[in-house]
Structure 1
Amino acid sequence: MSFETQNLRNVALLGHTGSGKTTFTECMLFEAGDITRMGSVEERNTQSDYTNIERERGNSIFASLTHAEWKDSKINIIDTPGFDDFVGEVVSALKVADTGIMMLNAQNGVEVGTELIWDYVSRFETPCLFVINQVDHEKADFEQTLAQAQARFGEKVVPVQYPISTGVGFHTIVDALRMVMYVFPDGGGKPEKVPIPEAELGRAQEMHNALVEAAAENDEGLMERFFDEGSLTEEELTEGLRIAIAHQQLFPVFVCSAVRNMGSGRIMGFINDICPSPADRPAARLEGEEATLPCDAEEDTTVFIYKTMTEPQVGMVSYFKVYAGTLSAGDELINAKNGTAERFGQLFIAEGKNREAVPRLKAGDIGVTVKLKNSHTNNTLNIKGIDRQIRLIDFPEPRIREAVQPLNANDMEKLIKALHQIEEEDPTLIVEQSAALRQTILHGQGQLHLDLIRYRIEKVNQVSMEFARPRISYRETITRAADSMYRHKKQSGGAGQFAEVHLRIDPWEEGMADPQGLSVRNKEVEELPWGGKLAFYWCIVGGSIDAKYANAIKKGLMQRMEEGPLTGSPCQDIRVCIYDGKMHAVDSNDMAFMLATKQAFRQAFRDASPQLLEPVYQLDILCSDESMGDIMGDLQTRRAMIMGMDSDGHYQKITAHVPLAELYEYSSRLRSLSQGRAKFHQEFLAYQPVPGDLQAELMKAHEEATAEA
Structure 2
Amino acid sequence: MSYDTKNLRNVALLGHPGSGKTSFTECMLFEAGDIQRIGSVEEKNTQSDYTNIEKERGNSIFASLTHAEWKDSKINILDTPGFDDFIGEVVSALKVADTGLMVLNAQNGVEVGTELIWDYVERFETPCLFVINQLDTEKADYDATLQQAQDRFGEKVIPVQYPLETGVGFNKIIDALRMVMYVFPDGGGKPEKHDIPASEMQRAQEMHNALVEAAAENDEGLMERFFDEGTLTEEELTEGLRIAIAHQDIFPVFISSAIRNMGSGRIMGFINDVCPSPADRPAARLVGTDEKLACDSNAETTVFVYKTMTEPQVGLVSYFKVYAGTLKTGDELVNQKNQTTERFGQIFIAEGKNREPVTELKAGDIGVTVKLKNTHTNNTLDEKGTDIQIDPIHFPEPRIREAVQPMSANDMEKLYKALHQIEEEDPTLIVEQNATLKQTILHGQGQLHLDLIKYRIEKVHNVTMEFTKPRISYRETITRSADSMYRHKKQTGGAGQFAEVHLRVEPYTDGMPDPDGLSVRKKEVEELPWGGKLAFYWCIVGGSIDAKYSNAIKKGLLQRMEEGPLTGSHCQDIRVSIYDGKMHSVDSNDMAFMLASKQAFRAAFKEAAPQLLEPIYKLEILCSDDAMGDIMGDLQTRRAIIMGMDSDGHYQKITAHVPLAELYEYSNRLRSLSQGRAKFHQEFLEFQSVPHDLQAELMKAHEEELSEA
TM-score (norm 1): 0.98
Gaps of 5+ in 1: none
Kindly state the Cα deviation for residue 252 of structure 1 after the two structures are TM-superposed.
1.0
Partner in structure 2 of residue 333 of structure 1: 333
Same amino acid, percent of matched pairs = 84
State the distance in 1 between where 2:199 and 2:522 align: 92
SS in 2 for 1:205: helix
**Structure 1 residues 173-184: aligned runs within 5 Å:** 173-184=173-184
State the distance in 1 between where 2:368 and 2:121 align: 24
Partner in structure 1 of residue 686 of structure 2: 686
**1:434 partner amino acid:** N
Kindly state the Cα deviation for residue 586 of structure 1 after the two structures are TM-superposed.
2.9
Gaps of 5+ in 2: none
Q: In terms of mean alpha carbon deviation, does 171-180 or 113-122 score higher?
A: 171-180
SS in 2 for 1:605: helix
Partner in structure 1 of residue 103 of structure 2: 103
State the distance in 2 between where 1:221 and 1:578 align: 85
State the distance in 2 between where 1:445 and 1:694 align: 29
**2:633 partner amino acid:** G
SS in 2 for 1:308: strand
| 1:405-438 CA-partner distances (Å, limit 9, x unpaired) | 1111111111111111111100001111111111
State the distance in 2 between where 1:404 and 1:162 align: 51
**Structure 1 residues 166-177: aligned runs within 5 Å:** 166-177=166-177
SS in 2 for 1:681: strand
Kindly state the Cα deviation for residue 244 of structure 1 after the two structures are TM-superposed.
1.2
State the distance in 2 between where 1:206 and 1:574 align: 75
State the distance in 2 between where 1:385 and 1:435 align: 42
Q: In terms of mean alpha carbon deviation, does 636-645 or 125-134 score higher?
A: 636-645
SS in 1 for 2:413: helix
| 1:545-578 CA-partner distances (Å, limit 9, x unpaired) | 2322222121111100000000000001111122
SS in 2 for 1:671: helix
**1:586 partner amino acid:** V
Partner in structure 2 of residue 388 of structure 1: 388
Kindly state the Cα deviation for residue 338 of structure 1 after the two structures are TM-superposed.
0.8
State the distance in 2 between where 1:228 and 1:551 align: 90
**2:4 partner amino acid:** E
**2:25 partner amino acid:** T
**1:327 partner amino acid:** L
Partner in structure 2 of residue 213 of structure 1: 213
State the distance in 2 between where 1:59 and 1:514 align: 66
**1:301 partner amino acid:** T
Kindly state the Cα deviation for residue 625 of structure 1 after the two structures are TM-superposed.
2.5
**1:43 partner amino acid:** E
SS in 2 for 1:568: coil
Is 1:703 the equivalent of 2:707?
no
State the distance in 2 between where 1:508 and 1:149 align: 57
**Structure 1 residues 521-670: aligned runs within 5 Å:** 521-670=521-670
Partner in structure 1 of residue 429 of structure 2: 429
Partner in structure 2 of residue 283 of structure 1: 283
Partner in structure 1 of residue 472 of structure 2: 472
SS in 2 for 1:593: helix
Partner in structure 2 of residue 78 of structure 1: 78
State the distance in 2 between where 1:238 and 1:514 align: 79
Is 1:274 the equivalent of 2:253?
no
SS in 2 for 1:699: helix
| 1:522-564 CA-partner distances (Å, limit 9, x unpaired) | 2222111111111222222333323222221211111000000
State the distance in 2 between where 1:513 and 1:592 align: 31
Kindly state the Cα deviation for residue 480 of structure 1 after the two structures are TM-superposed.
1.3
Is 1:352 the equivalent of 2:352?
yes
State the distance in 1 between where 2:211 and 2:575 align: 70
Q: In terms of mean alpha carbon deviation, does 424-433 or 676-685 score higher?
A: 676-685
Q: In terms of mean alpha carbon deviation, does 155-164 or 507-516 score higher?
A: 507-516
State the distance in 2 between where 1:336 and 1:29 align: 36
**1:611 partner amino acid:** Q
SS in 2 for 1:375: coil
Partner in structure 2 of residue 460 of structure 1: 460
Q: CA RMSD in A?
A: 1.3
Kindly state the Cα deviation for residue 162 of structure 1 after the two structures are TM-superposed.
1.4
Partner in structure 2 of residue 187 of structure 1: 187
**1:587 partner amino acid:** D
Partner in structure 2 of residue 517 of structure 1: 517
State the distance in 2 between where 1:371 and 1:296 align: 27
Partner in structure 2 of residue 233 of structure 1: 233
Kindly state the Cα deviation for residue 310 of structure 1 after the two structures are TM-superposed.
0.7
Is 1:4 the equivalent of 2:23?
no
Q: Measured at CA, do residues 511 and 222 of structure 1 come closer, stay the same or move farther in structure 2, by a change above 3 Å? A: farther
**1:204 partner amino acid:** A
| 1:300-353 CA-partner distances (Å, limit 9, x unpaired) | 011111001111111111100011111111111111111111111111100001
State the distance in 2 between where 1:117 and 1:518 align: 63
**1:370 partner amino acid:** V
State the distance in 2 between where 1:646 and 1:385 align: 52
**2:22 partner amino acid:** T
**2:120 partner amino acid:** Y
Structure 1 residue runs of 4 or more that deviate by more than 6 Å after TM superposition: none
| 1:196-243 CA-partner distances (Å, limit 9, x unpaired) | 222222222222222222212222222233233322222221111111
Kindly state the Cα deviation for residue 296 of structure 1 after the two structures are TM-superposed.
0.5
State the distance in 2 between where 1:660 and 1:10 align: 42
Kindly state the Cα deviation for residue 247 of structure 1 after the two structures are TM-superposed.
1.2
State the distance in 2 between where 1:192 and 1:704 align: 79
Kindly state the Cα deviation for residue 650 of structure 1 after the two structures are TM-superposed.
2.6
Partner in structure 1 of residue 494 of structure 2: 494
SS in 2 for 1:387: coil
**1:183 partner amino acid:** V
Partner in structure 1 of residue 262 of structure 2: 262
Kindly state the Cα deviation for residue 472 of structure 1 after the two structures are TM-superposed.
1.1
**Structure 1 residues 43-58: aligned runs within 5 Å:** 43-58=43-58
Kindly state the Cα deviation for residue 261 of structure 1 after the two structures are TM-superposed.
0.9
| 1:64-87 CA-partner distances (Å, limit 9, x unpaired) | 000000011000000000000000
**1:56 partner amino acid:** E
State the distance in 1 between where 2:92 and 2:388 align: 20
**1:514 partner amino acid:** D
State the distance in 2 between where 1:330 and 1:581 align: 74
Partner in structure 1 of residue 403 of structure 2: 403
Kindly state the Cα deviation for residue 487 of structure 1 after the two structures are TM-superposed.
2.0
Partner in structure 2 of residue 342 of structure 1: 342
**2:566 partner amino acid:** L
Kindly state the Cα deviation for residue 278 of structure 1 after the two structures are TM-superposed.
0.4
**1:616 partner amino acid:** I
Kindly state the Cα deviation for residue 521 of structure 1 after the two structures are TM-superposed.
2.6
Partner in structure 2 of residue 67 of structure 1: 67
**Structure 1 residues 282-321: aligned runs within 5 Å:** 282-321=282-321
**Structure 1 residues 108-257: aligned runs within 5 Å:** 108-257=108-257
| 1:629-677 CA-partner distances (Å, limit 9, x unpaired) | 2222222222222222223233222222221112111211222222222
State the distance in 2 between where 1:543 and 1:294 align: 73
Kindly state the Cα deviation for residue 582 of structure 1 after the two structures are TM-superposed.
2.5
State the distance in 2 between where 1:152 and 1:525 align: 55
Kindly state the Cα deviation for residue 192 of structure 1 after the two structures are TM-superposed.
1.5
Partner in structure 2 of residue 441 of structure 1: 441
Residue correspondences, number: 709
TM-score (norm 2): 0.98
Partner in structure 2 of residue 33 of structure 1: 33
State the distance in 2 between where 1:249 and 1:584 align: 85
SS in 2 for 1:548: helix
